[in-house]
Amino acid sequence: MSGTNYSYDIPDHPIKYIQVDPRSIKFDPRAQRNLNKSRAQAIAEKLVPSALGTPILSQRKDGQYAVDGMHRVYACQLILTGKVTVPERVREAIQTIACEVHFDLSMANEASLFIIKNKESSKVGPTDEFRIGVLAGHPLFQDTNTVLEKHQLKVGSSTANSVRGIKGILGIVMEHGPDILDRSLTIAEDAWGRTPDTWHSVTIGGIATVMSKHPELKPAELAQKLKRQGDPTAFKAKIQTIATNNNTQADGTRGRLKAAHLAVASAWNANRRVNRIPVPNIFE
């Protein structure tokens, strides 16, 4: 017996590509995800009109409703109603936006269309984003790549010459700058040599946080302190144990970074009576 066909069929219907005033577009969460206003505000604050894409709308009797691209549409509304301040050229560019408008759909059809569009879409992964960012000449990606090349490191695999977690590495550069990343990678290699776990982004993030907060520390001495903690795999496991409170609670990226900060700071303070540094309370 053949399996049941669970396809999301939508009847043939008219589709037009037209310019629409974002302020006229309505939302109906029954046919798609709920509106996350914080997410929309973050989009609005950094909106690039030429990268807005083409929101998908459904023309109902009482107006046009967003089917896909709801957060981009709401971001435009925030800007045009003065709730988010952006350069005037951005406001001018989004007085109307290009939309794909579908006609004669039922609400069930709209829901199917939303599912289809989101099942077919594929978010750019961190490795591809990094590669494309370098090619685009974006300063964040270029600065990060310069440091990685200096250390003969690549992105995208788990080897002794590849960083693990490029998103976290980019976060280090964003928060602390490329020089701190450079120093942190040097400290990690001096401590543990070139192994896959040497370059784990959370571990590097912990070193970067300590070096950023305490630039007076001697990198060679911190490397020796870290080496005494065991190999990089054991140190990574220690961070995980701290972040989960000995496996009694869930952890997130921010929790792991705080745990890494604590682990590196504790390593520096080990058997030290003077020149100790503060150890964070990650569960505050």
154-155 vs 162-163, strand pairing mode: parallel
Question: Percent of the chain beyond pLDDT 90?
Answer: 67
| Model confidence pLDDT, tens digit, residues 240-272 | 988 887 555 545 556 889 999 999 999 999 998
To the question of pTM greater than 0.75 for the whole model, the response is no
15-120 CATH fold: 3.90.1530
State yes or no: pLDDT of 3 exceeds 60. no
- Looking at residue 127, its pLDDT comes to 87
Nearest alpha carbon to residue 153 among 188, 177, 129, 125: 188
Across the chain, what does the average pLDDT equal?
Answer: 89
CA dihedral sign, ordered 201, 202, 206, 207: negative
| Model confidence pLDDT, tens digit, residues 59-95 | 999 999 999 899 999 999 999 999 999 999 999 999 9
Q: Report the C-alpha dihedral over residues 123, 128, 132, 134, rounded to 10 degrees.
A: 140
CA distances from 246 to 175, 205, 240, 250, 251 (A): 28, 21, 8, 10, 11
- 97-103 β-sheet, strand order: 15-20, 97-103, 56-60, 63-68
User: What ranges do the domains of the chain cover?
Assistant: 15-120, 126-269
Do 101 and 63 contact (CB within 8 A), yes or no? no
Q: What angle do helix axes 232-243 and 201-213 make, rounded to 10 degrees?
A: 80
Strand partners, 16: 101
When pLDDT is cut at 50, 70 and 90, the band that residue 2 belongs to is very low
Map residue 82 onto helix, strand or coil: coil
Paired tokens of 90: 């951005």
Segment 148-151 long-range contacts (CB within 8 Å, at least 24 positions apart): 150/182, 151/182, 151/185, 151/186, 151/189
State yes or no: pLDDT of 41 exceeds 80. yes
A 10 A CB-CB count for 98 gives 12
